[in-house]
Amino acid sequence: MEVEKGRPVAEALAAVERGLSSEDRRLATQIVYGVLRHRRFLDAFMSDRISRPPKPAVKMVMRIGLEQLWFMDRVPDYAVVSSAVEQARSVDARAAGLVNAILRTAIRTPFEPREPGVRYSLPDWILERWQARFPGDWESMAARQNMPPPMNLRVRGDRDAALADLAAAGVDAVASEWLPDAITVRSPIRLERLHLFGQGQLYVQDQSAMAVAYAASDPDPRHILDLCAGVGGKSFHLADQHPGSHVTAVDTAAERLARLRENAVRLHLVGRVTPVLRDAREAELKERADIVIVDAPCTGLGILRRRPDIRWRRQPRDLGRFQLLQRELLEAAVRAVEPGGIVVYSVCSTEPEETSAVVNAVLDAHPELLSEDVATQLPSPWSRFRDGSWVMVPPGMEDLDGFFIARLRRTR
């Protein structure tokens, strides 16, 4: 219900999970993310069978019940129905019979909608875009948005030794074929209980996001600037890749920078990564940087499986709104980079308004910029995602987040 009001899903969950056992936390997370992923599918089943819309809380109870009946196997069907009826009765005593009827119908009745937007539980406008741009892949892409994403970790040290330690702790993890410092975890874990995590040897990060630091790599940079640092994932990765450098991590949110500071302590990078609270578009820098990265705010349409609430929050008009901000941030990066230095622009979206349109506009305005081949900076498997001189990973392809990365060199 908090997410329906606009609260980010991870934040909403964190607020209510305190006091739950680790097993119940996992179940709550699975239910909440599942309901958000399948919301349109669940609602279509209900709307076909209910003449008058129920109270929002009653509707949410039915969504939770349907999610467990159709997409989960943790709780027996009879217990799902019983629990949902009791929940509904606590909200509206008159709704208990309706909830019971809907859920028992769901147990008996297959639901196979023909409309793609309902079948894959995605807004029509997103599907129409993917159908136009990925005619052979859109359906598999859409299906993958409803699958839980893998947990990927960046290993800060010997990967084989880390995998051996994790195996000894009962964690099922495998080495990534995409990046030499990445692993994929295939079993539930409590990171805070792992000594490797506490020692700062592991960092949670998707492989597409890790690829940004590889795309930005350049020999012997002294100063690296991250203009949209967030909680610091890319700043820390660049600091690890370039031990002789200093990273300035700029962000507009004090809360994110507070988490960045906490992460810097755990990773033993205090003093090498300096957080700065500022709007990067207005930053007055004392010195230019050798590498500037802009992981810009965007619609997030490449990470719908990781952030299922986004699909219901975004509208087509958001593409233009973000494009304006993205171009301003990329212009700020060009001003901040040394002649001969590198600017890397990335977004967790593959929509043209946020990717090629932004980069081409800045290239047209700055003849001193040269677009370099991103794929040559990455391990060979990434070449399959080469899009001209850029890299673009369609959402969910090869179990990677949807991402766009461009690498620009300032020649003078």
Higher pLDDT, 24 or 321: 321
Query: What pLDDT, in 10s, does the model give residues 64-97?
Result: 999 999 999 888 999 999 999 999 999 898 999 9
Q: What are the catalytic residues?
A: 348
- Domains, the chain, with CATH or none: 3-113 (1.10.940.10), 151-204 (3.30.70.1170), 207-410 (3.40.50.150)
d(CA 222, CA 360): 28
Going by the DSSP 8-state scheme, the letter that residue 39 receives in this structure is H
In contact, 322 and 303? CB cutoff 8 Å: no
In the prediction, which pLDDT does 21 show? 86
How many angstroms from the chain centroid is the CA of residue 152? 12
Which amino acid belongs to residue 86? E
Confidence tier at 52 by pLDDT (50, 70, 90): confident
Task: Give the three-state DSSP class for 109.
Answer: coil
**Measured distance CA(231)–CA(260) in Å, rounded:** 4
Share of the chain above pLDDT 90, in %: 87
Q: Which residue has the higher pLDDT, 287 or 208?
A: 208
What would the mean pLDDT of 257-280 be, rounded to a whole number?
96
Radius of gyration of the chain (CA): 23
Is-contact 39 121, C-beta < 8 A? yes
**Whether pLDDT at 299 is above 70:** yes
pTM of the model: 0.94
Cα–Cα distance, 170 to 183 (Å, whole number): 15
The per-residue pLDDT for range 358-387, each reduced to its tens digit, is 999 999 999 999 999 999 999 999 999 999
Q: Position 396: which residue type?
A: G
